[in-house]
Structure 1
């Protein structure tokens, strides 16, 4: 019979925050893996494709969801970045200048390059993010006069990533939709003048779950992009390697968030089941004598991704293997699986 091993109590909010931190680290780690093992050009191309894909999937629908689709294009784009990133727990500022010019600023510490990771990110990789998303908002809105001017990049040693959306008098050519003006600086941020979410429809529990989903969404996008860009063998290897490295580094932070304490096979099986629940998956746990099985009914993160290759599951396999190594050196975990949406069977010994 399926069951649940005993574990310390962990609140859903704390568990969601732990999952958010884990997937946040996974995405940042994947970029650093590409920089160190495939070089700046491949890492930049990967970042461009990830952010362009997210922009095409999320931006226009997100404007309507946040109630911004009635605003002037430059203002709507800047407010979207402010609110959507704020929901995800990102340090972000918004400054209105005119109906045709509005600033967005990501002050330090940068969410995406948390801690020492920022030292390993080349400027071209940061620019690729802007090319992938910010420079394409006008295209998405059907307004080819809308562009973005970047005035600072934190990875270049400046005090944040900042720039402004502007609506030009004439249509912008593709190479004009992202420009740089390092001699300019954003006005000071006034929190009282910034847009805010309606409190009644965004209670703490909804915000915490959205915070978790924000981080997980990056891995949901990144895994198929890595496989499509580098192929199933190389892409799968890079996903697995990064997952294992991140899992090993994050176990000590994740276990308390999930309310698990044991550093043996039973303790890790309990952590695995708790992790699956916290990330929105179902996992039944079985004592099989000499070990445990966790039967994961499906992988919701990739369940509706049309181009998810079976190699995408290697990011999850690596992550779980790394967590097992962090839990105890004699703990082994193996995965039997089909395509990303099919049931997954984990064996822990």
Structure 2
């Protein structure tokens, strides 16, 4: 296998695994830029994955090839509604945001597993879906020498939708009045309040955006990688997305780069045995590589990355 063939084999797989992380990480950027810590990204991904799989199984005969895309939209809405639990607890009642996020993770895991057993005759996981996200070649672009086989051949549409979402997220956050207001309530909520910006409303919006995007991330993961739902379908991807956000310094484009890096590490666990360079490495080491890199990223960059100044601090009107 030539070097070009190795690159053409690795890149689409890295982007494939990165797509759910990019969507979820983008959501955490928005909510944390508003001043709310979102440890519950893992749970929100689980809600999205569960909803998408159940909807896919129920509606595949009716919607056919459109099933998976409608399932993503339904998962987005359900996860966004579920995220209101985080918003109500941490913004309205000013509960500890870390504890609330952990509670969201446990609740999502327990609730989805309970519903799976209720809906599927006591089984701990759903049947496999038939309508799934598939690879395709981008016409004309895939014929470009060198870069065509790497970036436009045998790819997943969700990979490029995720990249587009990160770019749009950066534009919204840094080039629009809405983004300025959102960042202001995460940096100096009292000053924002003085300027007439409703701090709690903006934080609610940030949390709901996070819920929607995490739901999309979970739905994409479930319908392209796992193809079913069980308690182990989402196993650390939400925390990887949080690590990508920290690694990327709370910037959508930086987060995207970190997510692609983690996606590359995840892809090695499945394609490593086919690569001549690392085929002799025991598979167990490749499987734990993404989690080790997540720990190293957080340990190495959390002290060097500057978080929003009002992050994890409930806003009480009139307090300095």
TM bracket (short chain): under 0.3
Q: TM-score of the superposition, structure 1-length normalised?
A: 0.24
Q: Which structure features the higher share of strand residues?
A: 1
> Structure 1 or 2: larger helix share?
2
Question: Greater relative contact order (Cα 8 A, min sep 6): structure 1 or 2?
Answer: 2
Q: What TM-score, normalized by structure 2, do the two folds share?
A: 0.25
